[in-house]
Amino acid sequence: MELTTLVLFLLATAASAFMAWVIGAGSSGATPFAPAVGANAISTMRAAFVVGVFGFLGAATQGGNVSDAVGRGLVTGVELPAAGVIVALAVGAGLMAVGIYTGYPIATAFTVTGAVVGVGLALGGDPAWPKYRQIGAMWALTPVVGGGIAYGLASLLPRSDVPERVSVPLLGALVAAVLANLQFTLPGASGSLAGAGRTHLPAAVPGGVVATVVAAGAVALALRQAVVRDQAGALRGFLLALGALVAFSAGGSQVGLAVGPLLPLLDQVALPATAALAGGGLGLLIGSWTGAPRMIKSLSQDYSSLGPRRSISTLVPSFLIAQTAVLIGVPVSFNQIVVSAIVGSGYAVGGRSGVSRRKLLLTGAAWAGSFVVAFVVGYVAMIAAAPA
C-alpha cells in the first residue's frame, strides 16, 4: 500500500472512530435510557454506563445489515474512496457535534445518509432509488407508528379495567417473542433462539414456534409474579430491561452509520467486517461513557415529565421499530424513534400540555435541515476536493 493511500486510510479510520464516539455521545448513548432517567428509575451516570455496554454488544452482533446498506447500498456505480469516506463522516460527525453542544438531538441517520449520498453522487454515482424509497418510508412512518403505539400504550396502562398484572406481562411476552427471533451474528456463527429451537428439536416439532412461546410465557409469568409481589419494583425492573434492549438495538443500528462508509476500504485491506463492527462498538461505548449524560438530561427532562408507565410506553415501540430497521438494513435515527414515542405517550397523558411544543418544532426542523445540509456540504466538498 502506497504511503499516500495508507495515510488516507488511517485518516478515514480516524474519522469513523470519531463518528462512532459522536453517535455514542448522542443518539445511541442518550435515547435508550432517557425515559428511564426521566422516570427516576436510574441515575444519569449509571444509565450512560449501562447503555455503553449494551450498545457495544449490539454493534458487535447485529451491526452488519445497516453497515452494508450505508457502505454499499446508498449509491450505485461507485465505491467511496478514502477521501470520500473522510468527507462523508466529517460532515455527519460535525453536525452531530453541533447537536450535542446545543442540546438538540440531530438525527444521526439523516446526517450520515445525506453526506454519503452527496459524496457518492459528486463522484459520479447513480441514485439507488429502491433503497431511497425504503428509507423514506421508514423515516416517514417512524413518527406515526412509534408515536401511535406509544399513545395507545400510555392510554391503556393506567386504565382500571386493564390491571397491570395483566397488561405488563402481556407487553413482556410481546418483547420476549421478538427477542427470541432476533438474528445475531458472531464470528463463524449466526442465528436466533427460535432458530436454535428448530435445529435441536425433532423435525416434526415446530421448534421456532415452541422456542418463541416458551420465551414469551416465561417472561409473562415472571412479570405477573413480580407485579403481584411489588408493583412499583416490577415496573422499574421492566423499564430498565427495556432500556437495555433499546440500547442493544441502538448499537446494532447506529454502528453502521460509523463503520458502513469504511466497508469498501476494508475490502482492499482484507480486514473482516466483524472486527470493524467491534471497533465501532468500542467507539460507541466510549462515547456513551464520556459524552452521553448531557443528551440524556436533555431528553429526559426538557421534552416532558416521564413516569414509569409512560416510559414503558415509549420504549416498547422504540425497541420494535429499531429491530425492524436492523432486520431490513435501513439506517434510522434513534433520536427520531424515541422522541416520536415520547411525544405520542405525552399526548396520551397530558394532551398538548404534556409536550414542549417549542422543543418539538425546533427538533423537527433540525432533523429535516440536517439531511439537506449534510447532502449539500458533502456534495460541494467532494466536488471541490476532486482533482482539476
**pLDDT tens digits, one per residue of 251-264:** 999 999 999 998 88
- pLDDT: which is higher, 237 or 194: 237
- Mean pLDDT of the region 347-364: 69
Confidence (pLDDT) at 356: 64
Q: What's residue 285's pLDDT?
A: 93
183: pLDDT strictly greater than 80 = yes
362 vs 312: which has the higher pLDDT = 312
Instruction: Decide if pLDDT at 302 tops 60.
Output: no
Structure-derived torsion over alpha carbons of residues 111, 12, 323, 107, reported in degrees to the nearest 10: -20
Query: Looking at the predicted structure, is the pLDDT value of residue 98 above 80?
Result: no
Mean pLDDT of 5-25: 85
Grid coordinates standing for 344?
A: 405520542
Cell digits for 144?
406515526
Rounded mean pLDDT, 342-356: 72
Kindly report, residue by residue over 114-158, the tens digit of the pLDDT. Answer: 999 999 999 999 999 999 999 999 999 999 999 999 999 999 887
Inter-CA distances, 165 with 10, 95, 121, 247, 309, Å = 55, 45, 54, 26, 13
| Average pLDDT of the segment spanning 99-116 | 79
Q: What is the pLDDT of residue 207?
A: 64
Select the more confidently predicted residue: 217 or 293.
217
Mean pLDDT of 299-313: 71
Could you tell me which of 131, 100, 130 has the C-alpha nearest to residue 113? 131
Backbone angles phi, psi at 346, to 5 degrees: -65, -40
Q: What is the mean pLDDT of the chain?
A: 85
Considering Cα of 345, then 351, then 356, then 362, what sign does the dihedral take? positive
Calculate mean pLDDT across residues 16-27.
Answer: 84
Distance, CA of 274 to CA of 68 (rounded, Å): 12
Q: How big is the CA angle at 234 (ends 232 and 235), to the nearest 5 degrees?
A: 65
pLDDT at 29: 72
CA distance 88 to 84: 6
Q: How does residue 202 score in pLDDT terms, banded at 50, 70 and 90? A: low
Rg of the chain's alpha carbons, rounded to an integer? 21
The whole-number pLDDT of residue 241 equals: 94
pTM: 0.88
pLDDT higher at 185 or 61: 61
pLDDT given for residue 219 in this prediction: 96
* Percentage of the chain modeled with pLDDT above 90: 45
More confident: 98 or 280: 280
pLDDT at 121: 95
| Higher per-residue pLDDT: 84 or 351 | 84
Give the angle 128-107-174 at the CA atoms, nearest 5°. 90
pLDDT at residue 304 in the model: 47
What's the pLDDT score for residue 385? 75
- pLDDT, residue 271, reads 78
Distance between CA 98 and CA 91 in Å, rounded? 11
Mean per-residue pLDDT, 5-27: 84
Alpha-carbon span 136 to 162, nearest angstrom:
37
